[in-house]
Amino acid sequence: MKELISAEQLDVGIRKMAEQITSMVGDRPLTVIGVLTGSVVLLADLIRQLKMPLRIGFIQATSYRGGVERGELELDVAILPDVVGQEVLLVDDIFDTGHTLDEVQRMIQSMEPRLLHTAVLLHKLGRQEVDIRPDFIAFEIPDEFVVGYGLDYRDQYRNLPYVAVLEEADLESNDPVEPGNAQA
């Protein structure tokens, strides 16, 4: 695995994104919605940089069950606060194909917020399959599989304080052991 964005670079990028959000929102109340689970680290660091009154909520969006291929998106809104008439900032870890952000954004839009903004830590270049673009982007990255700072591979690596490219050898070392093929 090789480091792509250091902890120091993350701090600077998130601070700049917070300044852009503050410039747009000002001191109006804001409801910040994190897309679980990948956005948790970003959301925690981002809200500490925001000075306006805010509420926090979450939505669970699941489409990568244990691998690198996207499956059908499932949304769980059980812990989503009421957003009717509110100014909302939807925060996600990565904008890859864009399907997750597009679907979550449409779902929240149907709940009639006054304004809806989107923010992502990473925008993976060359992978978009939708016609939207996040309002706030901390970093643009090449088309590589990344982990760390909330992003995972098979629920591992979220705790890394930096963003790293997961290389082929790392993927192979994390492949599940098939029954009967365990090595001693």
The amino acid occupying position 92 is: D
Report the relative pairing of strands 30-36 and 87-95 from DSSP bridges. parallel
**Of 156, 125, 146, 150, nearest in space to 45 by CA:** 150
- Number of residues written out for the chain: 184
Query: Is residue 45 flagged as an active site residue?
Result: no
Structure-block tokens of residue 89: 């900032």
Q: Catalytic pick from 45, 92, 96, 102?
A: 96
CB-based contact 33:79 (threshold 8 Å): no
Sign of the alpha-carbon torsion through 47, 48, 49, 51:
positive
Secondary structure class of 19 (helix, strand, coil)? helix
The residues assigned a catalytic role are 96
